[in-house]
Amino acid sequence: MSTPVADLVLRGGPVHTMADTGPATALAIRSGRVLRVGTDEDVLGLVGPGTEVVELAGRAVLPGINDAHLHATWLGALWPHTLFGGDGAPGFPPERPLHTPAERRAAILRAGDLLAGLGITSYTEPGLGPGEDAGRTGAFGTSVVQQYRELAAEGLLRARVTALWLYGELDGPSTIADFRAGLATVDGADPDPRRLRFAGVKIFADGIPPMRSAYTHHCYADGTRAELLVAGDDDAEREHNLTGMILAAHHAGLQVGLHATGDRAIDLMLDAVERARAERDVDLGHYVIHGDLVSPDQLRRMARLGVGLSAQAGIAVRTVGVVDAALGEGRARSAWPFREALAAGVPLCLTSDAPVLAPDWRREIAAADRWMGPAADPRQRLAELLRCYTVHPARQDGAADWKGTLAEGMVADLCVLAADPLALTAAELPDVDVDLTVLDGRVVFERGVQAVA
């Protein structure tokens, strides 16, 4: 049998597979898959006349970055502006609504260019659908769904996209009737689910602590209480309807991403998932979005139920003052318990929530490390946080068997950094350039080269 010839070989630098394999300095790719990982000598025999060889010269290879909560269409419309300014409080974005299909298409493509330059090869667009057809931004309705599908069919998406349906308003209310009607209209399988996949539904349970709209067990510092964003005449009916939504999605075989920041909202989610798993025991990868006020007991329960957490460290470090003002002095330090989530075994995805924040995973990892405090082993801590942008998001996508690591046979999605992140501190990571991004074995970004297709 003849030895296969690689399409692309990267050699001469640390290759961090995130697959718990031994040290490697080279990687070979063929037909969009990882063909071999090992030493430079291990891949030497796979180089042929048509093989493109990238000399790493000490630069480091990582699996492609996966931002598991990123509003790409909105990002493409607003960039370089983000919702957060320098004062720690969310502000009002510039008014740049997308009015036409062409404008939405251009925004998606613009975001794709930006993300490729950051080494991002996968992202989740969390909430697209009829609930936002009349939305003021034009970045979340069914027209956006159509643009994604057309771009995927044309092979123009520059990252793998997972999307969640939205049957209520963005950051706003929904009704159980609209939710059930939406579930009834979910269409069939996506033509190429490894490029574009509608995995489930997003539900807004509550708001955020700084706005005193997180659904909590305790009053805010000013004595007020929040309500769920699910329609109903009182708390009991709203809680019943939220539970019904989660159960309906689970029984339809759809993943639930629940926007829940308050501990009371998270309890409702976990109660519903436990009931759903008792009635139909299948792990659909349900997860809590944000989870600001999640408790250690809830984290342990999440790990047992297979419920993930998608959170933003950059928001944590920016909002200490406003969260303390809302909840009481010192309460912010017990919020966003990333250290406890990792210790409990919760699949933790660090995300940017762009354009709330810039979609720079390097800054988010540095922010998470800062929030978690000193580490006994900084290298091990940084490796754990890198898994929050590679391995855990692949699990959230239901794709851990084919992406998220660089083991042999996995898809060849990767990025090359100008320096080895595991030889640096987390605080130094934001200054490390992304030199190369590879999606499905093809170079889609190279620093200093304009618009690699």
pTM of the entire predicted model? 0.96
Residue 208's DSSP bridge partners are none
Name the one residue in this structure whose structure tokens are 């809302």.
326
If you ran DSSP here, which 8-state letter would residue 388 be given? T
Distance CA 198, CA 220 (A): 37
Express each pLDDT in 241-299 by its tens digit.
999 999 999 999 999 999 999 999 999 999 999 999 999 999 999 999 999 999 999 99
Express each pLDDT in 1-43 by its tens digit.
678 999 999 999 999 999 988 889 999 999 999 999 999 999 9
Express each pLDDT in 372-402 by its tens digit.
999 999 999 999 999 999 999 999 999 999 9
Selection from 176, 199, 202 nearest residue 253 by Cα: 199
- Measured CA to CA in angstroms, residue 316 lies from 131, 169, 371, 374, 432 at distances of 29, 25, 8, 17, 23
